[in-house]
Amino acid sequence: GAGVSQSPRYKVAKRGQDVALRCDPISGHVSLFWYQQALGQGPEFLTYFQNEAQLDKSGLPSDRFFAERPEGSVSTLKIQRTQQEDSAVYLCASSPGGGGNQPQHFGDGTRLSIL
């Protein structure tokens, strides 16, 4: 597609529910990143994929967070047993090659609210 697409744009869930957030990166982009952004703050790194390989998941806050990119294109971030502190905007970004030496292209994010 023309840009990075994320769905849903807004998600409200009750504490304890599982949620799945989808990212459709720019076609052909090798690198895919997930970030968490709290209100008034910069993005915080969660995880990084190079094609289908998850090379870094050091930023995932707990084992309730899981991300996958099975065919090297679309990625899903899953949060199990959601907690109120999971409320944030989740941003996905992609870039053409590997490495942090290229601009990243961002989707508009999914705003997750846990009640």
Partner 1 sequence: SQQGEEDPQALSIQEGENATMNCSYKTSINNLQWYRQNSGRGLVHLILIRSNEREKHSGRLRVTLDTSKKSSSLLITASRAADTASYFCATAGDSNYQLIWGAGTKLIIKP
Contact residues toward partner 1 (CB under 8 A) are 4, 6, 31, 33, 40-45, 48, 50, 55-56, 91, 93, 98-109, 111
Smallest distance, Å, CB 16 to partner 1? 27
List own/partner pairs for 105-110 with CB under 8 A and 24 or more apart. 105/3, 105/4, 105/25, 105/26, 105/29, 106/4, 107/3, 107/4, 107/5, 107/6, 107/23, 107/24, 108/6, 108/9, 109/6, 109/9, 109/37, 110/6, 110/7, 110/8, 110/9, 110/10, 110/11, 110/21
Least distance CB 98 / partner 1 (angstroms): 6
Question: Which CB, 72 or 80, lies closer to partner 1?
Answer: 72
Query: What's the min distance (Å) between Cβ of 58 and partner 1?
Result: 9
